[in-house]
Structure 1
């Protein structure tokens, strides 16, 4: 796997493309406008023209979509038709189900959910579960937050507003007392502390990826929650449900971004914990990190940008190097954490 096309050159897509280029891939970027300021060619492509998309894909070995989730199904189908590997960052459950169907007959690897959550958090969670002879619970939490919040909401939209609205409103799958269940988002609110700082965590959709499929009957309790500063969930429930903005998703995203635009000083908190029997005794294991902006290739990158882009690039490096399958469907929980951290890009998470 040498040639890869990256679709969407926003903050995450551009960084992913630059990291792939630095790692030795022949990168072609696709964006709304051609540009000449990057160390690889950038072209425009009419994504609604399926024949043209598939023809372009046939000249590649792999495609990485960094586009909004609603565009990914036809792109995955085009990659399937072209017989190449497909990667994306989606948290959207129906999109993943369709890609899973495609993987049954794909020539190339089908690997959605390769970002932060789902993505890196699933790799971490699986590494904790694997430490126990009998794991009774695994709880995974991720929060992408401004370092210096203002206002009651305590938030800035450094991530796609479409993706945030999607995960705040779609139902969430969990395993509770051995049973797979669908529960409402922005529920099961709990307090959580990282380095003595109080946060709140609540259910959101998609963060578990395929973990409920993998661990049903093996782990009694698994759930994923988003972390925010205290009071956020109450305000968002008011916004979406009492003001009925859940019925106007696109408008809701625009309102929220206008009110809380992106910031440069952000932080990504990762908090995963598991409990179970290890060496005959009940134990608890944790993985807790706070990731902040860092300089990559001479440019300061926000925490959400590099933790998301870095995850998918590390996975692509592992596929290229033969450490992961070259066909079928890739589950994040099948990726070894130590091998991930040993890749050129995965090493960013170990710093």
Structure 2
């Protein structure tokens, strides 16, 4: 999207792994490591704002995001790690850039309260003479309740790039909603992450990525080819231009 604008004003990335049938107060099920999720909720998030790289608290700046049915209304909030190295690379080049995680409404408010009460702290505390990590207790108690062996997941993604092309404002958007593969028993999270890695490896073997060296994925992998390869595996990304 950045390459399609003469100048880019903002980049917003929204991604979430979600249950197709939300239940319970968190409306969430484990789609990968719970420890990883809690790390994202407790670590500062890098963003670019007013052209400068800065950190904001995870679970902050909650905003509504709408997807067509059956996904419907979601909420988006800052979490750590989403921009990877892009915050450093685009500081001073793009005024605004941020990554937010998608969840069903109400999730961030509950998890922020849990965090602020210290229930996600890593450091040990004394409990009846025993040294205990609150985070370990949280994982041990929440984990079994959030595991849904029969639950079906989905992955929702939206990228919105706003800028100027030929003197006119333009907005490029990409959207994906992928669901559990009933025929093959593969989760949406496995499909979108595993197929993505496999495609990247195949493109490297084919010699169509950037020259040898250390490169970030957005620098090295040809976007159009990558999206086309995902489509052959049933992962469809819809593009809109306004």
Do the structures match in fold with TM over 0.5? yes
Aligned equivalent of 1:284, options 155, 171, 178:
171
Alignment match, 2:26: 153
Aligned equivalent of 1:142, options 15, 19, 30:
15
Residues 115-170 of structure 1, C-alpha deviations (whole Å, 9 max, x = no match): xxxxxxxxxxxxx1111111100000101000111112100011111211111111
How far the C-alpha of 1:346 sits from its partner, in A, is: 6.3
Deviates more, 1:212-221 or 1:128-137: 212-221
| Residues in 2 aligned to 1:305 and 1:326: alpha-carbon distance in whole angstroms | 28
| Residues in 2 aligned to 1:218 and 1:243: alpha-carbon distance in whole angstroms | 38
How far the C-alpha of 1:221 sits from its partner, in A, is: 0.3
Question: What aligned pairs does 1:199-210 form with structure 2 within 5 A after superposition?
Answer: 199-210=74-85
Change in CA separation of 1:253 and 1:346 when aligned onto 2, cut-off 3 Å: farther
How far the C-alpha of 1:336 sits from its partner, in A, is: 1.9
RMSD, aligned α-carbons: 1.8
How far the C-alpha of 1:299 sits from its partner, in A, is: 2.0
The answer on 1:337 being equivalent to 2:226 is no
| Residues in 1 aligned to 2:59 and 2:79: alpha-carbon distance in whole angstroms | 6
Alignment match, 1:315: 200
Q: Report the TM-score, using the length of structure 2 for normalisation.
A: 0.85
Gaps of 5+ in 2: 123-133, 238-242
Instruction: Give the 3-state SS of the residue equivalent to 2:158 in structure 1.
Output: strand
How far the C-alpha of 1:324 sits from its partner, in A, is: 1.7
State the aligned residue count.
Answer: 221
Q: Which has the higher contact order (CA 8 A, sep 6+)?
A: 2
The answer on 1:189 being equivalent to 2:62 is yes
Question: What aligned pairs does 1:112-191 form with structure 2 within 5 A after superposition?
Answer: 128-191=1-64
| Residues in 2 aligned to 1:250 and 1:318: alpha-carbon distance in whole angstroms | 40
Q: Is the 8 A contact 1:211 1:333 kept in 2?
A: no
**Where is the strand percentage greater, Structure 1 or Structure 2?**
2
| Residues in 1 aligned to 2:192 and 2:37: alpha-carbon distance in whole angstroms | 16
Alignment match, 1:268: 155
Alignment match, 2:117: 242
How far the C-alpha of 1:215 sits from its partner, in A, is: 1.6
Q: Is the 8 A contact 1:203 1:226 kept in 2?
A: yes
